[in-house]
Amino acid sequence: MTEDAVEPQSSPSAVDLFCGAGGLACGLAERGFDVRLGSDVWKPAARTYVANFPDHTFAELDIRDLSASDIIAASGGTAPDLIAGGPPCQGFSSAGARSADDERNTLVGWYAKLAAEVLPPVVVFENVEGFLTASGGKFVLDLLDPLVEAGYTISLEKLNVANFGVPQLRKRVIAIAALGRLPQVLVPTRSAVGSPGVWRVGGGLPPTVTAGEALAQVGDLRDDPLSSVRPPGEMELERIRALGPGQTMRDLPERLQHASWTTRANRRVRDGRPTEKRGGAPIGLRRLRADEPSKAITGAATREFVHPTLDRTLTAREAAVLQTFPTEFQFLGTKSEIATMIGNAIPPRFAAELASAVRSTLLLPQGSTDPGIATFRATNAEAMSPALSRVVNTVERRYGLAHPELDLTQG
């Protein structure tokens, strides 16, 4: 082993930016990382993180007020082994209103430039799948340009956390950038069903935990404030009872649909196309299937996701368990703030597998790996959407591939 590689027995240092409640910190700690600094500007997330990780230094700052020297000082005077972060995704999340002008979108570029200034051996970026195609790929270039220019070799993949043991079908974009090393990609540990393309990964591996199995582990937590049940109203209870496994509000008879559902289903969007041409109205209530992973947990999960076998929506603790947070993890804030924190978090179990990939990367000797894109796996489907195809072509024209043998653009 060269002097530039991290010893297996050591605890690699890490900085967790946009840390939220601490899902990534959970996974990093599980795999032996020493998190020197956590940072987030949102007060409920800051309070929650500090309550669960009292030994971590915390900076309640906007990243635009955090300097490279601040990070280096918090890391003991040298660059940490890892800088990781997921800038807020609301500007381009498919689960919410999209806005190309949302100022939070610019945080992708701020994050990449700050990481490039600190120059840690590894940089990790995490975000929603909509990140890839938002504004024609602008934010992908905002991420890649500063890192490639600084000398990083980058692996960029769209993954489903269900393939890594999380009882949830949740697509995420992960970039691992390494200086002088080939970034090691995440290795699936489980097979999964229930979402397009997810079955193409992890063939022959044990199936991931189902929603029913995960929720059965919650147990009796009557003293846990996050386990309080929101009693449904009379009409909502009738709707819930009418939902079979996997069914949504779309499957309900018209008399049970929300009064606004028909209006929402037929409203026209900016280009004049009615919403039904785009798949209909929002799904609304959905009963989870006990025999499959949960659908992606969002901030609305406790209002819209119905328990697989009980006639009620999920509790906040159940949503957190489907995100793989331990049952003793504290969340501080209002009900709405807690729901948002849980929905925005990186699932700790997935974060642990990400941490393992980073450790494997750090253990490689530093060599002459060329800066650029080593891997760009944009989809596991047979074909790409036109929008995604254009982004892939733009990235490949702009950067080429540092390791053409690793071109995995279609999984």
Catalytic residue among 63, 89, 290, 392: 89
Secondary structure letter of residue 209 according to DSSP: P
Q: Are 60 and 17 in contact (CB under 8 A)?
A: no
CA distance 129 to 98: 13
396 token code pair: 């490949």
Q: Are 43 and 20 in contact (CB under 8 A)?
A: no
In terms of Cβ atoms closer than 10 Å to its own Cβ (0-12, 13-18, 19+), residue 403 is middle
Degrees (nearest 5) of the Cα angle 246, 134, 323? 40
Closest CA to 55 of 95, 25, 19: 25
Closest CA to 401 of 379, 366, 380, 371: 371
26 is catalytic: no
Question: Which spans in 66-201 are helix H?
Answer: 68-74, 107-118, 138-149
CA distance 19 to 1: 32
Question: What distances in angstroms separate CA 358 from CA 2, 156, 204, one per listed residue?
Answer: 17, 13, 25
35 token code pair: 């998190």
CA distance 340 to 216: 23
Question: What distances in angstroms separate CA 321 from CA 216, 246, 259, 347, one per listed residue?
Answer: 10, 19, 32, 9
Residues recognised as catalytic: 89
